[in-house]
Structure 1
Amino acid sequence: MVSNPVVLILGAGPRIGASVAEKFASIGYKVAVASRNGTGTKTANGFLSLKADFTKPDSIPALFNAVKTEFHASPSVVVYNAAALTNPPDKDSIFSTSAESVALDLNVNTISPYVAAQEAVNGWQTLPAETKKTFIYTGNIMNIAIVPMPLMLDLGMGKSASAFWIGLADAMYSAKGFR
């Protein structure tokens, strides 16, 4: 196992992301956090802080490259905690949300985490076989239950789509020790 494993937390805000970062640091992980407010420098607690725009899936590989450059190893754990939703102009109509807004939110909720998982799997192949490798996608109940609120349209769409590809990936890669 890598002596100091690396975790990359994508969507590291002041609540869940910060708590997850602190927990991993407390058990010996080198920590990189990516958010809209990233600085490109180390935080006061020694975390690598990266600026991220999850509406742009093509920006995700650069985050993984920055982590590898800083820590000389791929992250063995990747936590995807970013999420997006758009308030519909008509609070009673799901169809008042523009297709452009839905597409941007699906980038955050489905496409960017998919790209992050691709990058994670590519990096895991460079780590020792005995290293545990884990991709964590934070979520809510909307991949299995419909919350009857137009506000939840694109968040629920994204969580449902992501639940599918994550389940498929788990079935295909668990034999390799990728979870």
Structure 2
Amino acid sequence: MEKPTLLVLGAGPGVGAEVARRFAREGYAVALAARSADRLAGLADEIGGTAHPVDLTDPESLTRVVREVGEAAGHLDVLHFNPSAFRMADPLHLRVEDLLDDLRLGVTPLLTAVQAARPHLRRGARVLVTGSAAAEKPWHEACSLGMQKAALRNLVVSLDATLAPDGIRAVAVQVEGLLADEGPFAPPAVAEALHAAAARPDADWTPHVSYAGPPA
């Protein structure tokens, strides 16, 4: 039986890594993409996946990697978008060029990746995005993050509406707390919430899910 395929974009040591582990336990073949080649190689070895070092802000390189993963597997079943840029700067000190750089990491690679992945996304495939409460409740001292997450949420709604007629769905999971080493906002718990959001049937689908902790 062929394995479904997960591609994680922005596979860092936290949520991205835990999402990879969660889907791997379910039998997915896992491909990991991020800038750090050494970190990717270690994680890929641990879970038995493949590592694809890439600068996510480079549309040509990202397109090439997404197409390579899709062509090698013959399909992509879950595309997980995880990166964001954190910059300490309030609206009076955030430079336009810095905001644009942050959007090039935290938003625009999703558009590039979905366009590149579309030929390999079969019916039932999911576009899964790590969202944040900053989309609705931004911290003014790091306002760029809120703009990234708000734009992501908006883009996901449009992606979902565009892909839904072909049985492909998109969702942003809004994490309603700060990531922590333990507790409901530890990476394994957040990864479980992301997995649950992607596993929903179309009949129950919404392009936005709020995660405030595991059910009581």
- With the shorter chain as reference, the TM-score category is 0.7 to 0.9
**CA distance in 1 between partners of 2:37 and 2:68 (Å):** 12
Q: 1:75 matched to which residue of 2?
A: 76
| Higher RCO structure (Cα 8 Å, ≥6 apart) | 1
User: How far off its partner does 1:107 sit?
Assistant: 0.7
Query: Hey, what does 2:130 align to over in structure 1?
Result: 138
Alignment of 1:8-157 (within 5 A): 8-38=7-37, 42-68=44-70, 71-88=72-89, 93-124=90-121, 127=122, 129=123, 132-143=124-135, 145-151=136-142, 153-157=143-147
- Code of the residue aligned with 1:147 in structure 2: it is P
Deviation at 1:9, TM superposition (A): 0.4
Moved over 3 A (4+): 39-42
Which residue type is aligned with residue 24 of structure 1? F
Write out per-residue CA displacement over residues 58-77 of structure 1, whole angstroms, 9 at most, x where no aligned residue.
321122133135x4323211
Q: CA deviation at 1:148?
A: 3.8
User: Percentage identity across aligned positions?
Assistant: 27
Tell me the residue number matched to 2:154.
164
Unaligned stretches of 5+ in structure 2?
A: 170-216
Any conservation in 1 of the 2:70–2:117 contact (CA below 8 Å)?
no
TM-score by length of 1: 0.82
> Is residue 66–residue 116 contact of structure 2 (8 Å, CA) maintained in 1?
yes
Point out the structure with the larger strand share: 2
Query: Partners in 2 of 1:122 and 1:98 — Cα distance?
Result: 37
Q: 1:154 & 1:148 partners in 2: Cα distance?
A: 9
With 169-178 and 98-107 compared, the bigger mean Cα shift is at 169-178
What secondary structure is seen at the aligned counterpart in 2 of 1:138?
A: strand
What is the SS of the residue equivalent to 2:137? Answer: coil
CA RMSD of aligned residues (A): 2.0
Can you give the 5+ residue segments of structure 1 that lack an aligned partner in the other structure?
none
Task: Report if the CA contact (8 A) 1:6-1:73 is conserved.
Answer: no
Distance in 2 of aligned mates of 1:112 and 1:15: 19
Worse-superposed segment, 100-109 or 34-43: 34-43
How many angstroms does 1:147 deviate by? 2.2
Aligned residues between the structures: 166
1:66-93 alpha-carbon deviations (Å, 9 max, x no partner): 3135x432321100011112222xxxx4
Task: Please state how far the C-alpha of 1:173 moved relative to its aligned partner.
Answer: 1.9
Paired residue type of 1:171: A
Distance in 1, Cα, partners of 2:61 & 2:86: 20
Superposition TM-score, scaled by structure 2 size: 0.69
